[in-house]
Amino acid sequence: MKNTLQQQFGYLFNETILNELNTIGQTKQYTKNEIIMDVHQELTAIPLVINGSIKVLREDENGNELLLYFLEKGDTCAMSLTCCLKHAKSKIRAIADTDAEILFIPSEKMEKWFNTEPSWRNFILQSYQIRFNEMLETIDTLAFLKMDERLEKYLTDKVKVQGDTTLQITHQEIAEDLNTSRVVVSRLLKQLENQNIIKLSRNKIEVLNF
């Protein structure tokens, strides 16, 4: 794990933090679609994504989900940071978008490092800014883009996060992420295929143009 941490975070953190991450961090493996963090869960640690990708969702009172943003290798979740600092319950759901490996860091360490380690403080503040920008982008997408444009952007974002133009995903999963119906998604995917933007297979989408 220490070599992995050095490769991914060596340019960000000093040896003190890297050594402590290796010592106190708890690594967990998740399979695709497994819940990593759920709504109303008590949070005592923050996640660092070591491998894989994570999707972060918001749930309304009727159980409908809205995709906020993706996390990829080297990222952390701003929502969980806020909850840990405030000792509050989670307001989001984090689900493994692919098989993933997560390193969890006790919240008390995060608070201590924020006050004593400039490199860690910069990482946290930058993470807040990136996630804030992504949520603004989500709001803009909902407000200004038509569903076909939202779908195309969704597929493009997933390709960028996963680093693979072939996505193992069902039409129903896409519908849930975009808070629409499977019928609508299937119709729009067929349109994209007719435009040679994607190629459809069973539970698989190859993005040809992104």
- Average pLDDT score over residue span 78-87: 76
Report, as an integer, the average pLDDT of 73-100: 85
- If asked whether residues 114 and 47 sit together in one domain, one would say yes
Whether residue 39 sits in one domain with residue 133: yes
From CA 173, how far away is CA 166, in angstroms rounded?
15
Q: Are residues 152 and 116 in the same domain?
A: no
Per-residue pLDDT band at 110 (split at 50, 70, 90): confident
Whether 54 contacts 76, CB under 8 Å:
no
pLDDT at residue 65 tops 90: no
Query: What pLDDT shows up at residue 63?
Result: 77
How is 169-186 classified by DSSP, letter by letter?
--HHHHHHHHTS-HHHHH
Residues 125 and 164 in one domain: no
Residue where a domain terminates, one of 142, 171, 198: 142
Q: What's the CATH code of the domain at 179?
A: 1.10.10.10
| Same domain as 45, residue 118 | yes
Q: How confident is the model at residue 44 (pLDDT cuts 50, 70, 90)?
A: confident
In whole angstroms, give the CA distance from residue 105 to residue 21: 7
Say if residue 114 is in the same domain as residue 20.
yes
- Residue numbers of the domain that contains 83: 2-142
| Same domain, residue pair 95 and 168 | no
Span 102-127, average pLDDT: 89
Q: Within this chain, do residues 81 and 178 fall inside the same structural domain, yes or no?
A: no
pLDDT at 55 over 80: yes
Q: What is the pLDDT of residue 171?
A: 94
For residues 23 and 34, give the distance between their C-alpha atoms in angstroms, rounded to a whole number.
26
Picking from 142, 168, 194, the residue at the C-terminal end of a domain is 142
Strands 93-96 and 35-37 turn out to be antiparallel
Residue 86 makes CB contacts below 8 A (sequence gap 6+) with none
Alpha helices, H only, 117-146: 118-144
Whether residue 99 contacts residue 14, with contact meaning beta carbons closer than 8 Å, is answered with: no
Q: In which band, very low, low, confident or very high, does the pLDDT at 206 lie, cut at 50, 70 and 90?
A: very high
CATH number at residue 43: 2.60.120.10
Percentage above 90 pLDDT, the chain = 47
Mean pLDDT across 6-24: 86
Residue where a domain stops, chosen among 100, 122, 142: 142
Residue 111 φ/ψ, nearest 5 degrees: -65, -45
Distance CA 26, CA 101 (A): 10
Number of domains in the chain: 2
Q: What is the pLDDT of residue 62?
A: 78
> pLDDT-based confidence at 2, cuts 50/70/90?
confident
What is the residue-averaged pLDDT of the chain?
89
Give tens-digit pLDDT for 90-101.
Answer: 888 999 999 999
Supply the pLDDT for residue 70. Answer: 92
- Indicate if 71 and 175 belong to the same structural domain: no
145-200 residue pLDDT tens: 899 999 999 999 999 998 999 999 999 999 999 989 999 999 999 999 999 999 99
Reply yes or no on whether the pLDDT at 71 is more than 90.
yes
Residue 167 shares a structural domain with residue 152: yes
Burial degree of 185 (CB within 10 A; 0-12, 13-18, 19+): buried
Q: Are the CB atoms for 43 and 105 separated by under 8 Å?
A: no
Q: Indicate if 89 and 33 belong to the same structural domain.
A: yes
Residue 79 has pLDDT above 80, yes or no: no
DSSP letter, residue 89: B
**Whether residue 72 is found in the same domain as residue 161:** no
At 59, is the pLDDT very low, low, confident or very high (cuts 50, 70, 90)?
A: confident
